A and B are shown apart, each in its own frame.
Chain A
């Protein structure tokens, strides 16, 4: 790439530069350096995970040395496998439980919030929109600490446990549907509502029969996002769990590994989390494509929608 500038005459003679034969290479050719760098990054990013998944099938107790293939950590080992060890088993159930509860609560809450805030002008709505975005950007530790004290000091009737975890997770994740739906509303504009109103529909009918169907892809995408986000969450549930039955996978992996008792069983747990997330992502992608089948949507848009980018 630097060769291009070696024999380059001064910048003002751009015309001359362009017509010189040396310069007739395609200016827009693929920069091999950037591409190579990107692939190197992807390898660095993905290969460790692949190896970790591999070690979950390790025949021995080591997490670093391969000792043969086995399903023992998943279900064959009668004592320590994910299927048979009560703590590991409970953590899988708890993660799924939290994901479902949180998605079921956060998505409707966030969507209604987005609709209301977007159309209702005023100081209250603006300030709560502010608060909602703040909940998106605040470090999770500070928020987690606040939740911890909330449920142990003020609302102590809500003990630490699944209810507290769900409430904390919903609050933490409500910003996803709220932001995504608001962005979609902004793109949609007011035209559909105005058209519906012109045709005589009242607020409720407009909402139900015009806006919500138009927003379904966004709502669906945000549900996928919330679900994945809860599977991955660590800090909030670490601070709000009380015993093994409400400890999700992320916390169990952390405390067991830190406690020195790490083993391929933890890798197995991580692999299960991975598989669940991927299933959700693929379902999300397919669902989103199906929901937007009428529009001029593309695979790329679906991808960016279900990852919160836009």
Chain B
């Protein structure tokens, strides 16, 4: 099928999660306009998508825990593999991932871990030497300088891991409640901020300890103020691998008006040159075979001090992942998060 003419490709993505230059290049190459709409949290995106009120051609940045419901409720459509030959550039795992058998609905976008970012020059403790580094934010002396991610899965998971629970898909009410309680304690101790702005707040020093995503910290260099070297930014992920590993996906909503262009976009985002340009701005690793830590350091996209943000295929296979949870438990997670994120 031929691509749509005079089309505007409508993309729905996280705020600041794709390099505008990459988008512009796509528009030029495929002779179309591209309009990127953004959301701040996955909840917000889902509320809009579920309402049936919005219409996009590409829904990207989708996490695997929300994929199941999207497929079941027929909000996204199966994709046509013949338009996406570049899948061969990606890790072979993605041609039959466990969350989407035979990659019927998704192509991979980014792969990342969730860990702890800190300012080495302001915080003397080294999480690599702590027995429970997940508890690093819980220190009253850093009042006003601590932040956690604005995501209900990540937030409650942080509470769980701090309490020694590593089943991030638990339905156990008391574990969830304890996690919520820990988060409320955190708020009382430190006036914790809740946002997804780790990528600017740690470099500028506004926050000294931020529960963070690896990709955000990898991009730190471009956000450092003048005269401050990027080495002061540290990112910790547990050496035993017991921390959240995630990968975000690109999907095509069922009500897309430009499905062919959307497929071409998926294909485009699996091509090495575009991926490297994207990573250089975005920071997040993308699971292509040629994207190796050595390559990233060589092209000066990744500073050596932030090698810990790299995600290897082995992490993907053995990491702890946030998966879909049953509806009633999901409700509990949401409720606990709301109480923890708004109340003190």
- Do chains A and B interact in one complex? yes
Q: Please report A residues at the B interface, Cβ cutoff 8 Å.
A: 62, 65, 79-80, 85-87, 90, 151-152, 156, 159-161, 242-245, 247, 255-256, 258-262
23 contacts between A and B (CB under 8 A): A62-B225, A65-B226, A79-B21, A79-B24, A80-B20, A85-B20, A86-B36, A87-B35, A90-B35, A152-B51, A156-B52, A160-B48, A160-B51, A160-B54, A242-B54, A243-B35, A243-B54, A243-B56, A245-B35, A258-B195, A259-B196, A260-B195, A260-B199
Known: A79-B20, A260-B199. A152 touches B53 (CB 8 A): yes
Q: Which residue of B lies closest to A80 (CB)?
A: B20
Q: Please report B residues at the A interface, Cβ cutoff 8 Å.
A: 10, 12, 15-16, 20-21, 24, 33-38, 40, 48, 51-56, 195-201, 225-226
Number of A-B contacts (CB under 8 A): 76
List A contacts of B16 (CB < 8 A): 256, 259-261
Contact assessment for A261 and B37 in the assembled complex, using a CB-CB cutoff below 8 Å:
no
Partner of A244, one of B37, B55, B196, B226: B37
List B contacts of A151 (CB < 8 A): 53
List A contacts of B20 (CB < 8 A): 79-80, 85
Q: How far is the CA of A109 from the CA of B33 in the complex (A)?
A: 37
Q: How far is the CA of A247 from the CA of B52 in the complex (A)?
A: 18
- Distance in Å from the Cβ of A203 to the closest Cβ of chain B? 44
Partner of A86, one of B12, B34, B48, B51: B34
List B contacts of A256 (CB < 8 A): 15-16, 38
List B contacts of A86 (CB < 8 A): 33-36
* Chain A binding surface SS class: loop
Contact assessment for A243 and B21 in the assembled complex, using a CB-CB cutoff below 8 Å:
no
Partner of A247, one of B37, B197, B225, B226: B37
Q: How far is the CA of A63 from the CA of B10 in the complex (A)?
A: 30
- Distance in Å from the Cβ of A161 to the closest Cβ of chain B? 8
Partner of B15, one of A80, A85, A156, A259: A259
Q: How far is the CA of A152 from the CA of B51 in the complex (A)?
A: 7
List B contacts of A261 (CB < 8 A): 15-16, 200
Please name 15 further chain A to chain B contacts, defined as beta carbons within 8 Å, in addition to the given A62-B225, A247-B37, A259-B197, sorted by A numbering: A65-B226, A79-B24, A85-B20, A86-B36, A90-B35, A151-B53, A152-B53, A160-B48, A160-B54, A161-B53, A244-B36, A255-B15, A258-B40, A259-B40, A260-B15
Tell me which of B52, B54, B199 has the highest count of chain A C-beta atoms within 10 A of its own C-beta.
B54
List A contacts of B24 (CB < 8 A): 79
